[in-house]
Structure 1
Amino acid sequence: MFNNLIQTLYNLADTFWVSKLGTMPMAAMTLVSPVIFLTLSIGTGINVAGTALISQYIGSNDEEKSIKVSTQMFTFSVILSIILGIIGYLLTPFIVTFMGGQDEIFTYSSQYLTIMFWEIPGMFLFLVYTAIKQSQGDTFTPMVLNVLGVILNILLDPIFIFTFNMGIKGAAIATVLSRMIFALYAIYTLFAHKDGIYLDRNNLKMEKDILKEIIAIGLPSTLGQSAASFGFVILNSFVISYGANTLAAFGIGNRINSLVLMPVMGIGSALATIVGQNLGADKKDRAKLAVQTALKLSTILMVIGGVIMVIVSSSIVSIFVKDDPDVLQQGTEYLRLVSISLPLMGFFQVFVGTFQGSGHTIYAMMMDMGRLWGLRIPMIILFKNFTQWGPNGVWYAMLLSNAITCVFGFIIFLSGKWQKQVIHKKKALA
């Protein structure tokens, strides 16, 4: 949970300092943030595949295969992240234009996004490190490195933004440096230390069979999260049609909401490892009990969080708003509305963690894609054209799509199909 809090603080630090520059830079950063998450979703798919495979091999006492999968995942991630970073850097002007960025917002968005694409290799490397550590039940070490990265980011943000007078570009540079330094150190430790699961230099060359395993499990998650992230790109294009103030309010509300969701995101990540190891050890009942416990815990936490957010939403939003009553009002309205759906988001994170940990990522993909493309975006179009709700129509569509998606996840959970193993165990010796 604390690790997810730290990840959220990366975004909140940038949001806080960029908000001091005014509404336009804040709106610009909000506009292009889904593009970063779209690219990151590919790395997350590899991370999900690694967590599922490594944890199940650990559960079945096959450490050799765990090490091999980890090393192959590293090689694949390095190559893919460099390619994606270069492509994204070159296509930035076209991406911002496609999303509806014009004039000042185009300038600020392009400045921020071109630099943020340098962060892709660092993000991918740290995802590999996190998958390897979490598969062994070690969530503490990645958290420590994340804490150090956030502290460095918080220190560098005002220096680059204001002292060096780099504006929104400074926020991006501070984030890239903070991420890359600790990602490289994390990977170094996996090569240097031979205890537990580590990276083996002898297995760096890609092996087709293992790559197929990683892709087979990671691809559905990548497609689901990529489709969801691209859905947020489209969503932002709808939000910006209501004006820069609405987009800025949306961005601030999302980052605050991410902070509140931190506990259930942590539960979902932990659950993926627990489910994977228990299914690898053929303990299906224990895996199911873990999911049920996670559902109860997430519901309690999100009900408490939702009540608190409704009460203090205006005060929190005001921290990020600089002399703009309209942004404050819209941000407060949005935050209060999404607070109502927090228990639903708890269910969503638990079900996604369950399906990812079990290796049945197709179900997680269906939830990710269906929530955005099957439900939310069609609802937004309908509400925009056939109601007088204005920006609130977007918020209502978000709430309803979350509710329906959770019902789907619950049905899949009850079916028990997610309990089937996905690993190939060594054949017993005669």
Structure 2
Amino acid sequence: MLRFAFPLMLGNLLQQCYNIADTLIVGRFLGAQALAAVGSAYTLMVFLTSIFIGLCMGGGAVVSLQFGGKNYAGIKQSLLTSLFLIGGITLLINILVILGIHPIIRLLQTPPELEEVMYDYLIVIFLGLPGTFLYNYYAYLLRAVGNSVVPLLFLAVSVVLNIGLDFLFILGFQWGVTGVAVATVASQYVAAIGLCFYTLHHFPFFRLQRSDLHYDRKSLREILSFSSLTCIQQSIMNLGILMVQGLVNSFGTGVMAAFATAVKIDSFAYMPVQDFGNAFSTFIAQNFGAGKTERIRKGIRSAVLVTTIFCLLLSVLITGAARPLMQLFVSAQEEEIIRIGMDYLYIEGSFYLGIGYLFLLYGYYRAVRMPGMSVVLTIFSLGTRVALAYILAAIPAIGVKGIWWSIPIGWALADLVGFVYYRFTSNRCRSK
């Protein structure tokens, strides 16, 4: 699992470098207002991207099960079905967000002085959604058959290109936040197109022939079962973050800028835990498909141990380095922004164990054909987070810190539900 997970971890850490580079350059060279606008737009993009990722993860889970059972004909049919299904949804979403860009900006409670900057950024970023879909689609196909290294290599090239274009467009051409968006979109398309050609060239069973182009109702049902639930889980989880972003925006530009920076640090920190959860899910799915019960049990024990050790070390690191991490992105003179961001990192960073266990629970239930439970856990986490955020933030003595505290409380509640349910259903992995 660690050998498989490491490229996933490194790959998504590199993917976060898109956002880290943007935040660092924007914060240092374009100022607090631009940082607040890009950070708020980032939360929206995470929500939209989570829809594609959830669909692709579901399709990848089906391919994992079929690959474990050596069902290559089923893989081709799943490939055809998922490509048309997810591609069509991507196109529909792309059209809707471009047409509704102004209502979206208002829905996020964007301060009036930031609306024009957000529009300039979002209109370009939205044009990159097909590239985001294409990359994740082929990345999850390769990961489903045990190849997590190649997506990493293409992503590494894309990240380097993104950083170079950031400096060129912002410092050289003086394009402002539009330059940040253009750099990100161009880099995403490079990774997506390259990975697509590589996959089709090196994996013959992913190539569709004319004889494969036929409708299969069973395949559609299976893809919809996995992809829709995984998509709902991912999008609901990030919808909660988006709703919280609207509440954060109501506190003004300073809190927006602090949140934008701290969230990037936070996401970068626990991304390896999320990727380990995805690798754990692939491991369980392949062994579940092959009927290897004892190997599943050993995998669970090992995954819990690794997650516990890593999350505890991560908590010590992030809470101990909160100030210098914030000062990487904003000037030392922006003391209020730094202080607010440090409060966020102290609270979130102390409880990474909660999100680590939650990612394992998500992965386990997806792998043993119980994706609905992953959705239930997400709803428990989301519901607590959003409700408490609005309740606690309205108390003057607590204020914005109430938003920060609502997140680990949501993790803890979902963990409790997931562990209790596992105790009653753990014999599920004994049969296919």
After TM superposition, the score normalised by the length of structure 1 is: 0.93
Within a 5 Å distance, the mapping from 1:62-211 to structure 2 comes to 62-195=71-204, 197-202=205-210, 203-204=212-213, 207-211=216-220
Per-residue CA deviations over 1:311-352 (Å, capped at 9, x if unaligned) read: 111001101013311101111121111110111111111111
Using the TM superposition, give the Cα deviation of residue 281 of structure 1 relative to its aligned residue in structure 2, in angstroms: 0.6
What pairs with 1:28-47 in structure 2 (closer than 5 Å)? 28-47=37-56
d(CA) in 1 for partners of 2:214, 2:193:
20
SS of aligned partner of 2:128: helix
Contact 2:46 2:238 in 1 (8 A): yes
Q: Are the aligned partners of 2:128 and 2:189 in contact in 1 as well (CA < 8 Å)?
A: yes
Return the offset for 1:136.
Answer: 1.1
Please say if 1:4 is aligned against 2:12: yes
Question: For residue 8 of structure 1, what is the amino acid of its counterpart?
Answer: Q
How far apart are the structure 2 equivalents of 1:107 and 1:415?
53
SS at match of 1:261: helix
Partner of residue 18 from structure 1, selected from 26, 30, 36: 26
Give the distance between the partners of 2:302 and 2:56, measured in 1 at CA: 24
Matching residue of 2:413: 404
1:264 touches 1:298 (CA, 8 Å); kept in 2? yes
Match of 2:206, SS state, is coil
Aligned to 1:361: 371
Render the CA deviation track for 1:178-216: whole Å, top value 9, x for unaligned.
011120121122333344x42314335654432221111
Q: Which residue of structure 1 lines up, in the alignment, with residue 270 of structure 2?
A: 261
Q: Extract structure 1 runs of 4+ deviating beyond 6 A.
A: none
Q: CA deviation at 1:285?
A: 2.9
Aligned residue in 1 for 2:322: 313
How many Å separate the matches in 2 of 1:106 and 1:371? 31
After TM superposition, give the deviation of residue 263 of structure 1 in Å: 2.2
Q: For residue 359 of structure 1, give the secondary structure of its aligned residue in structure 2.
A: coil
**Whole-Å separation in 2 of the counterparts to 1:357 and 1:387:** 44
Q: Which residue of 1 aligns with 2:3?
A: none
Q: Which residue of 2 aligns with 1:279?
A: 288
Q: Is the contact between residue 2 and residue 262 of structure 1 (CA under 8 Å) also seen in structure 2?
A: no
Cα-Cα RMSD: 1.9
> Residue 176 of structure 1: CA displacement?
0.6
Q: Contact conserved, 1:48 with 1:356, CA < 8 A, in 2?
A: no
How far the C-alpha of 1:228 sits from its partner, in A, is 2.0
Partner of 1:339: 349
2:174 is matched by which residue type in structure 1?
Answer: N
Q: Which amino acid aligns with 2:25?
A: W
1:224 is displaced (CA, Å) by 2.1
2:335 to 325, 330, 346: 325
Contact persistence 2:33–2:114 (CA under 8 A): yes
Matched, 1:50 2:59: yes
Is the 8 Å Cα contact of residues 352 and 364 (structure 1) preserved in structure 2? yes
Q: Which residue identity is paired with 1:120?
A: L
After TM superposition, give the deviation of residue 134 of structure 1 in Å: 0.8
1:384 shift after superposition: 2.4
State the 1:421 CA deviation: 9.4
CA distance in 2, matches of 1:181, 1:63: 29
Asked if 2 retains the 8 angstrom alpha-carbon contact of 1:284 and 1:419, the reply is no
Q: Matched residues in 1 for 2:116 and 2:213: separation?
A: 41
Give the CA deviation at 1:387.
Answer: 5.2
Q: Distance in 2 between matches of 1:7 and 1:359?
A: 29
> Which AA in structure 2 matches 1:327?
I
- Alpha carbons of 1:421 and 1:174: their partners in 2 closer, same or farther (altered >3 Å)? farther
The aligned counterpart of 2:6 is none
2: CA distance, partners of 1:399 / 1:32: 23
Q: Which amino acid aligns with 1:99?
A: L
Q: Verify the 8 A CA contact 1:52 1:359 in the aligned structure 2.
A: no
Q: Tell me the number of residue pairs that the alignment of Structure 1 and Structure 2 aligns.
A: 421
**C-alpha deviation, 1:278, in angstroms:** 0.5
1:302 matched residue in structure 2: 311
Cα offset, 1:420, TM superposition:
5.4
Matched-pair contact (CA < 8 Å) for 1:358–1:421 = no
Question: Is the partner of 2:175 in helix, strand or coil?
Answer: coil
Distance 2:203 2:302 in 1: 35
Q: Name the TM-score, length of structure 2 as normaliser.
A: 0.93
CA drift at 1:154: 0.9
The answer to whether the aligner puts 1:248 opposite 2:257 as a matched pair is yes
Deviation at 1:34, TM superposition (A): 2.5
